[in-house]
Structure 1
Amino acid sequence: MTATVKLQHTNIFHRFTRLLAPGLLTLATSLTLVSCTTQGQKAQTPSAATNVSDTNSNSSGIKAKVLRMGYQSAGDLVRSQKVLEKRLEPLGVKVEWAQFVQGPQLMEAMNVGKIDLGSVGETPPIFAQAAGAQIVYVVGSRRTPTTGRASVIAVPPNSPIKSVKDLKGQKIVFQKASASHYFVFRALEDAGLKPSDIKILSIPTVEASSAFLEGKIPVWVAGDPYLALAEKSNKIRVIKTAEGLDTPGGYYIGARQFAVDNPGILRIVIEEIDKLQRWAEANPKEVAKIIGPIQKLPPDIMEKVVSRRSYGLRAISPELVKEQQRVADYFYKYGVIPKQVNIQEAVLTPEQYAAITPESISQK
């Protein structure tokens, strides 16, 4: 069952949205709660053989009766394969899903108590924390040398803009407070430019896609699957990818109280996502076959999208916290957030991380 939920206007919600673009509270901020009744295509994932006796060993540290998961399009594999349901439902925990167009919208929903856990890039939790959100970093995403291939700064094929240096004075379209925000600022810095050298128009990628293909947007920060669709239509020229960007990468972020109360749930979630991502990395064609129909994308587009994804999880460590702090300090340096953010305040204790982090999760 699908229902549209209007976000409540709490004080923290107002503080958070003031950090973002005025147009953020549009159709793009709506979220869709998805029940677990839709059966995805079946795949021989590592979780298929999980039995009730396996889950019973993780039954401690579970208070919640419902886990409300927020996801973006990349989370379709976890949802469609029902790996969380297979582990949690025997323990009396129902899984509900809410889809978001981008990370900032997902964080807004967490701020107002609509979801418990979700995956975002490095930037949205910084903005949320600056607004006073009670969140914690649960687990990170593994970075590889090719991470960032699916995020680009692009122009129409006939544009006179040839490089990032040519962006001075240009209007650039991307979602403020998303991972694109840090990508653009770092790209400008590397080219000897400042954020003040450009004009930012904050529009979610899904809403900007059609306008870009119609030639109405001079510079667009795009990501898959919209990037792949634009490439197929030959209406895009990439001038910079996010490969090699000095970012700590994405995270699963949790509402603090939920994380403190439910370490058993978090460990199960991390275990299952880790196993599924390891399988996905080794079986890209199968992933494309599963996700393509869900996202209503043709096979060739879906295969390209999957080929550019990075897989694997990374444990929250002092080193990772330092990396994330550097990004937060960067936004404060340029006046994007109104106060300094202490990432350590959104971190669990070493003992809490030991309880939720499987030994298989890398520290790097």
Structure 2
Amino acid sequence: MPSAFFSRLGRRAFVRHVLAVAAIAVSASVTSLPSHAADPVTLRIGYQKSGPLLLLKGTGALEQRLAAKGVSVTWTEFPSGPPMLEALNVGSLDFGTTGDTPPIFAQAAGADLLYVGRQPNLGRVSAVLVRDDGPIRTIADLKGRKLAFVKGSNANNIVVEVLKRAGLSYKDIQPVNLSPADARAAFERGSIDAWAIWDPYFALAERQPGVRVLTTAEGIVESSSFFLARRPFVQANPEILSIVLEELDKAGVWAEANIDAVSEIFARVNGIDPDVQKVAAARASYRVGPVGEEHVRTQQGIADTFAELGLIPKKLSIRDAVWTPPKS
């Protein structure tokens, strides 16, 4: 096991512990973490219903480490990356995680955020879905069709790259900006033609009758999920940030060695059939590490493409928004 915390718990005990903690509702009205404070009172974290942040929330390991420094932690759930980064931008959060695309839109909108960590975002966890009885049989058949996804999410980038594979451009489709829940409903009633989505929504949808995977993003988009933080928070609290990233990677190491337990935790939290959740959990990666130059180059390429397409209003320098950890 990767840490003393995890090693003290067997699988069943750990799962029970995570689910018990995850069931506690945390108020979103919390004490703000002053950007100038040397000893912050509250660290405010945004999370989604997957990944090492959700596992870390359930263990209480981060709270244990930070309590000695007089720091408490609060957690707020978000359905996708864009609203989470908006909360970071307006100062309602200090730290969160998203796919590759939301921070590009946030930076273009003037958000003062920093990339502080990275998790592999494998292409096999995302897909473009169509109805099996519909007319769309190839990617080229998406031309002129209504394709739903969350604008500014990693699905947005997947759509752009998938279309390129068939010689199509973003202007060749009718993009429909819908949350995962709304897109699923629209897909089921036939008011959209295709749906670009990520796990666990992908794993849930592909098990439904009449749903066909047009393509996954595997071999098309292999990118990253990123951990992001407000620049003032990072500058004032580099030691706190380093602890957060350390604990996240410990959770990630444990997760990759205990997929069955991870599946059970996520299934209970998400209300998803355990067999379906296991599919999603098994094809993900959970390790957390630094943002390297190759990741900066990949992000820069996405940002440049989005600027060329007019999806963001200006060109960006991703390097300007990447945190360099202090040397120990």
TM range (shorter): 0.7 to 0.9
Q: Secondary structure at the match of 1:315?
A: coil
CA deviation string 1:196-216 (max 9, x = no partner): 101111001122112222333
Specify the code of the residue in structure 1 equivalent to 2:104.
Answer: I
- The answer to whether the aligner puts 1:206 opposite 2:181 as a matched pair is yes
2:15·2:264 contact (CA, 8 Å) conserved in 1? no
The question of whether the paired residues in 1 share the 8 Å contact of 2:158 and 2:221 is answered with no
Paired position in structure 2 for 1:7: none
Question: Is 2:49–2:266's contact at 8 Å kept on the other side of the alignment?
Answer: no
Q: Name the SS for the 1:86 alignment partner.
A: helix
1:1-364 aligned within 5 A: 41-42=16-17, 63-74=39-50, 75-142=53-120, 147-349=122-324, 352-354=325-327
Contact 2:63 2:73 in 1 (8 A): yes
How far is 1:190 from its partner?
1.5
- Which stretches of structure 1, 4 residues or longer, exceed 4 Å deviation after superposition? none
Q: Are the structure 2 counterparts of residues 310 and 62 from structure 1 closer, same or farther at C-alpha, using a change threshold of 3 Å?
A: farther
Distance 1:72 1:62 in 2: 28
Whichever residue aligns with residue 306 of structure 2, its letter is F
CA deviation after TM superposition for structure 1 residue 291, in Å: 2.2
Residues 93 and 183 from structure 1, CA distance in 2 versus in 1: closer, same or farther, beyond 3 angstroms?
A: same
State the secondary structure of the residue aligned to 2:127. strand
Verify the 8 A CA contact 1:142 1:310 in the aligned structure 2.
yes
Counterparts of 2:267 and 2:327 in 1: how far apart (Å)? Answer: 36
CA distance in 2, matches of 1:151, 1:246: 9
Alpha carbons of structure 1 residues 246 and 306: separation in structure 2 relative to 1, 3 Å = closer
Distance 1:353 1:326 in 2: 27
Q: CA deviation at 1:245?
A: 3.0
CA deviation after TM superposition for structure 1 residue 142, in Å = 2.9
Tell me the TM-score normalised to structure 2 length: 0.85
| Structure 1 residue identity aligned to 2:317 | N
Uncovered stretches (5+) of structure 1, i.e. residues with no partner: 1-38, 44-60, 356-364
Q: Does the 8 Å contact 1:42/1:290 carry over to 2?
A: no
Q: CA deviation at 1:302?
A: 1.8
**Cα distance in 1, alignment partners of residues 196 and 110 from structure 2:** 28
Q: Deviations over 1:205-250 (max 9, x none)?
A: 1221122223332111122222222222223101111112345311
The separation in 2 between residues aligned to 1:297 and 1:194, in whole angstroms, is 35
Q: Which amino acid aligns with 1:302?
A: Q
Contact 2:49-2:269 within 8 A present in 1 as well: no
- Cα–Cα, structure 1 residues 314 and 234, in superposed 2: closer, same or farther, change >3 Å? same
Identity, % of aligned pairs? 40
List gaps (5 residues or longer) in structure 2: 1-13, 19-36
State the AA in 1 paired with 2:260: K
Deviations 1:312-348 (A, max 9, x none): 1231223322221111111011111111111122123
User: Aligned equivalents of 2:88 and 2:155: distance in 1?
Assistant: 20
Q: Match of 1:338, as an amino acid?
A: P
Residue in 1 aligned with 2:10?
A: none
Match of 1:313, SS?
A: coil
Shift of 1:97: 0.5
Q: Is the 8 A contact 2:89 2:111 kept in 1?
A: yes
Task: State the Cα deviation string for residues 77-129 of structure 1 (Å, max 9, x = none).
Answer: 22112221121123211110111110011111111001001000111111111
User: Contact between 1:41 and 1:80, CA under 8 Å: does it hold in 2?
Assistant: no
Corresponding residue of 1:18: none
**TM-score, length-scaled by structure 1:** 0.77
Alignment partner of 1:327: what SS? helix
**2: CA distance, partners of 1:127 / 1:251:** 14
Alpha-carbon RMSD: 1.8
Contact 2:47–2:77 at 8 Å: present in 1 too?
yes
SS of the residue corresponding to residue 233 of structure 1 reads coil
Indicate if the aligned counterparts of 1:62 and 1:265 stay in contact, CA closer than 8 A.
no
The alpha-carbon distance between structure 1 residues 223 and 347, as it changes in their structure 2 partners (threshold 3 A), is closer
The 8 Å contact of residues 40 and 81 in structure 1, kept in 2 or not, is answered as no
Partner of 2:23: none
State the alpha-carbon separation in 1 of the partners of residues 46 and 90 from structure 2.
13
Aligned residues: 295
1:77 corresponds to which letter in structure 2?
Answer: L
Contact 2:146-2:174 at 8 Å conserved across structures: yes
